[in-house]
Structure 1
Amino acid sequence: MESIIHPIEPVWDSNSKILILGSFPSVKSREQGFFYGHPQNRFWRVLAGVFGGEAPNCIEDKKRFLIENNIALWDVIHSCEIEGSSDSSIKNAVPNDINGIINSSNIQSVFTNGKTANKLYKMYIYPLTNIEAVCLPSTSPANAAWSLDRLIEEWRREIIPPSLRDTSL
């Protein structure tokens, strides 16, 4: 296993209110040069279900979708040794410095996409920020126990404040 440096820049701006952190980009994401590039990963469909509209397809549309919805997106890990896309194989992890995003935006909530990202966040980033993260169920195809509808429902419940939820959904 060789050490791989995270090849994707974070997406955020000064208006970002929520920060979603994954663990480390999959092989497909590293090849495409953007987050959640594996066609079976449900991340973009889940966000579209939570915030409304169609799931974005191209990188520019994905970036626009994130910024328009005040979402910052990055990963916990800056570099690590990893076999393929397997989070369980991550070794010798070095965390990303998320303080730049936190200090230069309007982040009010931090979420992790899955248990591995949450574990890594608690281990490496929480001690530096003292900001609790909410663990969302993983959008990975490996999380087959969660249907797309169930993921959308849970992500919406956690991300959207009760006062802003459309109860007709």
Structure 2
Amino acid sequence: MEIEQHPLEPFLPGNARLLMLGSFPPQKKRWSMEFYYPNWNNDMWRIAGLLFFNDKDHFVDKSRKAFCKECIISFLNKKGIALFDTATAVRRLQDNASDKFLEVVQPTDIAALLQQLPQCEAIVTTGQKATDTLCALFSLKEPKVGDFTEFIFEDRPIRLYRMPSSSRAYPLALEKKAAAYRVMYQDLQML
């Protein structure tokens, strides 16, 4: 079975206070842009639009049925949000985007990412596979969805937030997902 290497470089703004980690990008055929959370059926950028701009379509280019990468990057740089995934190499056990059928072949060196983000005070995992992978790497007890746990990384306290998956396959309304993310962004004084 083919091993897929991560197709994107980590997005690490120097001012990042939050590191957002998914599991792994979907297959390219599902991308609406060349960036994180590219699947049109993923609500991550709709959640951010709703919370920060009171408009779920703030990052949407309706004419192209795609997300506006440049708008997203500008937003992330301004807010200090870094992005990557918890796996750098995977096997897809089925021909779909489901985390349930992803086998992590090589987990990401999260410590190396955190070393490049000296202002980072929190990590958020955006789904079960990402949470499981990160908790295994740092020997952490998994927080409940919508909650956090704290750990020490190189003398620095870091919060691990566990948010609901932004995938539409996760059975929760957009507004309820946004409500969980709102608590995290307010805790971090980003909203």
* Smaller-chain TM-score bracket: 0.7 to 0.9
**Matched ranges for 1:94-133 at <5 A:** 94-105=106-117, 106-124=119-137, 126-127=138-139, 130=153, 131=158, 133=160
The answer to whether the aligner puts 1:146 opposite 2:175 as a matched pair is no
Distance 1:132 1:115 in 2: 17
Distance 2:98 2:134 in 1: 17
- TM norm structure 2: 0.75
- The aligned residue for residue 67 of structure 1 is 77
Distance 1:69 1:93 in 2: 32
- Structure having the higher strand fraction is 2
User: Deviation of residue 6 (structure 1)?
Assistant: 0.4
- TM norm structure 1: 0.84
Cα contact 1:51–1:69 (8 A) shared by 2: no
Gaps of 5+ in 1: none
Supply the RMSD in Å over aligned alpha carbons: 2.5
User: Deviation of residue 43 (structure 1)?
Assistant: 0.4
The answer to whether the aligner puts 1:38 opposite 2:20 as a matched pair is no
Cα contact 1:8–1:30 (8 A) shared by 2: no
Moved more, 83-92 or 53-62: 53-62
Cα contact 1:46–1:148 (8 A) shared by 2: yes
4+ runs of 1 displaced by more than 6 Å?
none
CA distances 1:96-126 after superposition (whole Å, capped 9, x unpaired) = 12333312221101110011210111123x2
